[in-house]
Structure 1
Amino acid sequence: MLPLITVLGCFLLYFLGYKFYSGYLSKSIFQLKDTRGDTPAHKFNDGVDYLPTKPAVLFGHHYASIAGLAPILGPAVAVIWGWLPAMLWVVLGGIFVGCVHDFGAIVVSIRNQGKSIGQVAQDLLGPRARSLFHTIIFFLVALAMGVFVIVLAEMFSADPKTKLAPVPSPAKIEQTEAKLPSIKEHTHPSEVRVETSSSPIQLRSHFPEAVIPTAGIMIFALLVGWLHYKKGMDLGPLTFVSVALTLVVMVLGMNDSILTWTGLNDTARSPGVPLWKIILLLYAFLASVTPVWLLLQSRDYINSFLLYLGIIAIYLGFFKGSIFGEFSSFNAEAIRAEKVDMDIIPFVFITIACGAVSGFHALVSSGTTAKQLDREIDARAIGYGAMIGESLLGLTSVVACTIGFASATEWSSFYKSWSGIQGLAPSVGAYIYGTGRFISQLGFDQGFAQGFIALVVVSFALTSLDSATRLLRYNIEEIADSINSELVKKVLGNRYVSSILACVAIGFFAFLQIDQGGKKTTAGLALWKLFGTTNQLLAGLSLLVVTIYLLYSKKKTWTSFLPMVFVLTATLWAMVVNFYDFLFSKSPSYLLAGVGGVLIFLTLWLLIEAVLAWRRFSKA
């Protein structure tokens, strides 16, 4: 019963955090207004980036943009240190750090004409701070989306081994806990490969059946955006029809005959990983240059219902299985006694970025959400509330990647060591495997349940990819605007040119390979470590901007100041360790060490700028 009691306790903390702490922030700290017409969405309405939006639609867009692959992937890796540190950071970090960060970023932006966090930094800290922010943001988005492209390309591609083993029943695994079963080969595309006990368990990381429904969602989103905004059709019927069609296409996409006809499950006919990377980058470019109402907003809105449905199904299955004794233990230590390759402190706070606190959220909050907010008071539900929702998603990852394994032997086989995690895509496979077992408790076939969760994961990774590419485009345009050259402003200010540059930067990291033991391999886990530190760095600096804003506004600063100090301390610690490892490990990466060193330098410089600004405001 321990897992059930623990998760219910987390739910209670979420409820108390939203009801009382977000209310305190809204009324006493940010003092939000309940008037319509004075937000940037109304003042600068251009129908492309600035657009007053219904709270329900904007919540879905914001939630889908922040709740991408990262809140699943981070905890799926971090449980290697045990379930308790991951759960505490996801829940308490979300309530007291991440929610404050997202809420504050929206408020600061709408109070500054919908400017991005980098532009607000210039107003509060000076012009040098703006340039420093822009450089950090550039690296953050390019790194993060490079990782997303790597994982998505592998998930979309057919399994190169083609032959997969069926999911072993929990009963069978428990009967043979001392030795993992040897399973006959099978070819169903929704099943999992498990090796014998001589090797770590290998969970499936290829889900080509997600391709067809993903394409369907894009088509439905374009139709919904056009019919709602151009033809004035009511959003309710459009929502029902689009979500229903998405589920129908999902079922069709998992059909063996359709997969065979399209060749998606055939390595000889399906696009390989490199080609999928190119396709994803082309999609990111198109999503970046289209009006926000046509694709980005409507697709995120439809996707949000998939996420709601997925989270509800995961927790219902978990609760049912827990009550009837199927999920009675975590199958992992609370805090792992055996030392792994990386120290739990500070790296648990870095590995789990989204799900607890994420600097990327500041870009979404100030880059797109603040430009669409109808009323100031909506910032509470969208900023604080959506982050609670993402923390709930992160909690599903902690639970699925511990309780979701059929036995302690199976869990320890997969999480044998840091290198034994086998890469980022298999970690997502662990999440899909665990959540598939949860949903199967509701009477669904486990293969079908895994296919559904794979679609949810892919859909939200794509929403982050297209939103982030647009944000990187904004960042490049803002950099151009700060350069004293009309030619540069004209060229880089063009959304097509800036979008191409954004995709090139993302593609650089997506195709980057590093040397591991004399073998060239994708820089997935190395990039994730660098992304984690960069992401948390931006989160700490965004909290710094919120703190300076509160100081300037003569309001209490402790709600953002204390989280800022904690996040920056842990992040700088991890950055220094990473920098040393990139330089002096058995397989050094001087490129990643250079990026890490530049980020450390920029951070220290920006902190000096912040101290000087703090002194100026204090004297004033």
Structure 2
Amino acid sequence: MLPLLTVFGCFLVYFLGYKIYSGYLSRSVFQLKDTEGDTPAHKFNDGVDYLPTKPAILFGHHYASIAGLAPILGPAVAVIWGWLPAMLWVVFGAIFIGCVHDFGALVVSVRNQGKSIGQVAQDLLGPRARSLFHAIIFFLVALAMGVFVIVLAEMFSAGKKIQPTVPPTPQISVEEKTKPELHSHPSEVKIETPSSSSIQLRSNFPEAVIPTVGLMVLALIVGWLHFKKGAKLAPLTVLSVILTLGIMVLGMNESVLSWTGLSDPDRSPGIPTWKILLLLYAFLASVTPIWLLLQSRDYINSFLLYIGIAAIYLGFFKGSIFGEFSNFNAEAVRSEPIGLDMVPFVFITIACGAVSGFHALVSSGTTAKQLNREVDARPIGYGGMIGESLLGLTSVVACTIGFSSATEWTSFYKSWAGIQGLAPQVGAYIYGTGRFISQLGFDSGFAQGFIALIVVSFALTSLDSATRLLRYNVEEIADSIGIDSVKRILGNRYVSSTIACLAIAFFAFLEIEQGGKKKAAGLALWKLFGTTNQLLAGLALLVVTIYLLYSKRKTWISFLPMVFVLSATLWAMIVNFREFLFDKSPSYLLAGVGGTLILLAVWLLVEAVLAWRRFSRT
């Protein structure tokens, strides 16, 4: 009963956090207005980036943009230190730090003409601060989306094999099949244990390709019908969700997979087809009007996530009540060393599941430009982060309780060095949540396919939103240079989107030497992304603190979280820098990026101290 009681306790914390703490922030700290016409969406309405939007639609867009692959992937890796530290950070970190960060960044941006967090930093800290923010944001978004492209490309692929390192017992064998059947792919890893039945973990889900493409087409149609033809939203929503689920069933059919060639493991060997296609999609999503693809796609996606999270928790509760999920199958806090210190890296690895600097970019980059009324910032900013934390909690639960036994879990999470890339961790999440949903009477293969579609869909929503945000960042950099010819060239959304995609591609195709072989730098990039992401979160909280100081309001609500996040992040950044530089297989490129970010962070903190002194004297 411990897992059941623990998860119920987490739900209670979420409820109290939103009811009490977010109410306090709304009324006593930010003092939100309940009137239309005051927000940037009304003042600068251009139908492309600025657009007053219904709260339900905007919540879906915002939630889908922030709730991507990261809140699943981070906790799925971090449970290697045990379920308790991961769960505590996901829940309490979100309530007192992540939600405050997202909420604060959204409000500050709305009250500064919908400007990005970097532009707001210029107004509060000075022009040098804006340039420093721009550099950090550029690295962060390019890094994160490079990782997403790596993982998505592997998930879409049909023929890549996983060979994780495990102890002699249990044994692992990779099942090779010349004619793969539905839900049984060449990339399956079969873990056989003497104390339990075998399990199969997959990292490749080509059946998610067809419904993913179908969802894009549906989003274009829904966006055109609703915004251009005035079609009612409710029937469009119901129809699009039903059609998406129908296309998912179609895509899981073996004959359809064979006809499309998606089940062929030898298709286009050696050619990074999926990476190229994903980058092309990111470019197209960046240049199209926000109502045509981003809003409608994120809105439809949000319903898939609502259904998925509800099914995961219902299945978990049912299985727990009837004794199927009575143990965590992992230590509360792991006693033996795993090759990487829990503190500070548990905070860095989980990243978006608790607090994420990327959310400040979404809040101030797209959401602030669509907010209809200030009071909508509470459910969208604070409530959206609770929703993301709920998703992160499913990852903690699925990657501990979702395993059939402690032996199976230990085999998979043997050590940090034994983690083979990032896609296998997604496979562990899909396996665990698939077991939960199968408690509701669904076939386990269908359940895993449904979760795979959700994971892919939300990783893509982060990819398209982030590429647009990176485009904004490039345009703001051009604007700060002050040269008309540069502003004219880089201010073109096609040029700036191309630069954004090239930056993402650099990290997506980056390889590092590991064990004498060149491999995708996925796990190393995730550590670097985690530190960069948390660094930006700390700096965004710094901007919120300066804003509150300037407005003569309570600063402790953002100051204390800022101190904690920046302290843990700078600690981890220094450790990473030393590892990249002095490891047996050093990566001087990653060491250079990490060292540059440390210098930028320290410089920006100096600018903040100077600004604090100026405001304190007034």
State TM-score, norm by structure 1.
Answer: 0.96
Q: CA deviation at 1:190?
A: 1.8
| Residues 360-419 of structure 1: per-residue CA shift (max 9 Å, x gap) | 000000000000000000000000000000000000000000000011010000000112
| Residues 583-608 of structure 1: per-residue CA shift (max 9 Å, x gap) | 00111000000000000000000000
1:379 to 377, 380, 400: 377
Q: CA deviation at 1:355?
A: 1.1
Aligned to 2:612: 614
Structure 1 Cα separation of the partners of residues 357 and 175 of structure 2: 46
Aligned to 1:235: 233
Worse-matched range after superposition: 179-188 or 65-74 = 179-188
Retained in 1: the 8 A contact 2:162–2:189? no
Aligned to 1:218: 216
Structure 2 Cα separation of the partners of residues 299 and 323 of structure 1: 36
Q: Structure 2 vs 1, CA of residues 331 and 122 (structure 1 numbering), >3 Å: closer, same or farther?
A: same
Secondary structure of the residue aligned to 2:34 is coil
Structure 1 Cα separation of the partners of residues 425 and 76 of structure 2: 6
2:277 to 276, 279, 292: 279
Aligned to 1:459: 457
Aligned to 2:521: 523
Q: CA deviation at 1:451?
A: 0.3
Aligned to 2:58: 58
Secondary structure of the residue aligned to 2:189 is coil
Superposed counterparts of 1:45-84, under 5 Å: 45-84=45-84
Q: Structure 2 vs 1, CA of residues 566 and 178 (structure 1 numbering), >3 Å: closer, same or farther?
A: same
- The code of the aligned residue for 2:189 comes to R
Q: Structure 2 vs 1, CA of residues 24 and 450 (structure 1 numbering), >3 Å: closer, same or farther?
A: same
Question: Is 1:18 the counterpart of 2:28 in the alignment?
Answer: no
Aligned to 1:194: 190
Question: Is 1:307 the counterpart of 2:300 in the alignment?
Answer: no
| Residues 64-94 of structure 1: per-residue CA shift (max 9 Å, x gap) | 0000000000000000000000000000000
Secondary structure of the residue aligned to 1:399 is helix
Structure 1 Cα separation of the partners of residues 173 and 77 of structure 2: 26
Secondary structure of the residue aligned to 1:213 is helix
Q: CA deviation at 1:116?
A: 0.2
Aligned to 1:545: 543
Question: Is 1:97 the counterpart of 2:90 in the alignment?
Answer: no
What is the aligned residue count? 606
Structure 2 Cα separation of the partners of residues 413 and 296 of structure 1: 40
- The code of the aligned residue for 1:278 comes to I
Retained in 1: the 8 A contact 2:205–2:452? yes
Structure 2 Cα separation of the partners of residues 129 and 204 of structure 1: 45
Q: CA deviation at 1:613?
A: 0.1
Structure 2 Cα separation of the partners of residues 560 and 146 of structure 1: 30
Retained in 1: the 8 A contact 2:94–2:354? yes
Retained in 2: the 8 A contact 1:189–1:207? no
- The code of the aligned residue for 1:159 comes to G
Q: CA deviation at 1:619?
A: 0.4
Secondary structure of the residue aligned to 2:326 is coil
Superposed counterparts of 1:249-260, under 5 Å: 249-260=247-258
Superposed counterparts of 1:2-17, under 5 Å: 2-17=2-17
Structure 2 Cα separation of the partners of residues 458 and 216 of structure 1: 13
Secondary structure of the residue aligned to 1:353 is helix
Structure 2 Cα separation of the partners of residues 600 and 197 of structure 1: 45
Structure 2 Cα separation of the partners of residues 212 and 270 of structure 1: 18
Structure 1 Cα separation of the partners of residues 323 and 515 of structure 2: 45
- The code of the aligned residue for 1:56 comes to A
Secondary structure of the residue aligned to 2:502 is helix
Q: Structure 2 vs 1, CA of residues 437 and 273 (structure 1 numbering), >3 Å: closer, same or farther?
A: farther
1:585 to 575, 583, 586: 583
Q: CA deviation at 1:51?
A: 0.1
Retained in 2: the 8 A contact 1:162–1:266? no
Q: CA deviation at 1:421?
A: 1.8
- The code of the aligned residue for 2:31 comes to Q
- The code of the aligned residue for 1:410 comes to E
Secondary structure of the residue aligned to 2:519 is strand
5+ long unaligned stretches in structure 1: 164-176
Structure 2 Cα separation of the partners of residues 473 and 189 of structure 1: 40
1:335 to 327, 330, 333: 333
5+ long unaligned stretches in structure 2: none
Retained in 1: the 8 A contact 2:421–2:523? yes
Structure 1 Cα separation of the partners of residues 601 and 173 of structure 2: 51
Secondary structure of the residue aligned to 1:427 is helix
Retained in 1: the 8 A contact 2:211–2:251? yes
Structure 1 Cα separation of the partners of residues 105 and 162 of structure 2: 46
Worse-matched range after superposition: 58-67 or 481-490 = 481-490
Aligned to 1:173: none
- The code of the aligned residue for 2:461 comes to T
Superposed counterparts of 1:86-165, under 5 Å: 86-160=86-160
1:574 to 572, 575, 583: 572
| Residues 519-566 of structure 1: per-residue CA shift (max 9 Å, x gap) | 100000000000000000000000000000000000000000000000
Aligned to 1:265: 263
Structure 2 Cα separation of the partners of residues 342 and 149 of structure 1: 26
Worse-matched range after superposition: 483-492 or 503-512 = 483-492
State TM-score, norm by structure 2.
Answer: 0.96
Question: Is 1:496 the counterpart of 2:486 in the alignment?
Answer: no
- The code of the aligned residue for 1:340 comes to I
Structure 2 Cα separation of the partners of residues 203 and 146 of structure 1: 24
Q: CA deviation at 1:502?
A: 0.1
Secondary structure of the residue aligned to 1:520 is strand
- The code of the aligned residue for 1:40 comes to P
CA RMSD of aligned residues (A): 1.7
| Residues 251-294 of structure 1: per-residue CA shift (max 9 Å, x gap) | 00000000011010102336766110000000000000000000
Q: CA deviation at 1:32?
A: 0.0
Q: CA deviation at 1:185?
A: 6.2
Structure 2 Cα separation of the partners of residues 272 and 98 of structure 1: 40
Structure 1 Cα separation of the partners of residues 411 and 175 of structure 2: 20
Structure 1 Cα separation of the partners of residues 521 and 335 of structure 2: 29
Identity %: 81
Secondary structure of the residue aligned to 1:194 is strand
Retained in 1: the 8 A contact 2:201–2:431? yes
Q: Structure 2 vs 1, CA of residues 39 and 514 (structure 1 numbering), >3 Å: closer, same or farther?
A: same
Retained in 2: the 8 A contact 1:157–1:270? no
- The code of the aligned residue for 1:188 comes to E
1:468 to 466, 469, 473: 466
Retained in 1: the 8 A contact 2:175–2:190? no
Retained in 1: the 8 A contact 2:162–2:424? no
Secondary structure of the residue aligned to 1:521 is strand
Structure 2 Cα separation of the partners of residues 411 and 161 of structure 1: 20
Secondary structure of the residue aligned to 1:421 is coil
- The code of the aligned residue for 1:24 comes to Y
Structure 1 Cα separation of the partners of residues 169 and 529 of structure 2: 38
Superposed counterparts of 1:347-366, under 5 Å: 347-366=345-364
Question: Is 1:42 the counterpart of 2:42 in the alignment?
Answer: yes
- The code of the aligned residue for 2:44 comes to F
Retained in 2: the 8 A contact 1:357–1:539? yes
Q: CA deviation at 1:195?
A: 4.2
Superposed counterparts of 1:165-176, under 5 Å: none
Structure 2 Cα separation of the partners of residues 183 and 161 of structure 1: 8
Q: CA deviation at 1:518?
A: 1.7
Q: CA deviation at 1:193?
A: 2.8
Secondary structure of the residue aligned to 2:371 is coil
- The code of the aligned residue for 1:21 comes to Y
Aligned to 2:295: 297
Q: CA deviation at 1:182?
A: 7.2
Secondary structure of the residue aligned to 1:352 is helix
Worse-matched range after superposition: 359-368 or 411-420 = 411-420
Retained in 2: the 8 A contact 1:224–1:298? yes
Structure 2 Cα separation of the partners of residues 190 and 121 of structure 1: 50
Q: CA deviation at 1:424?
A: 0.2
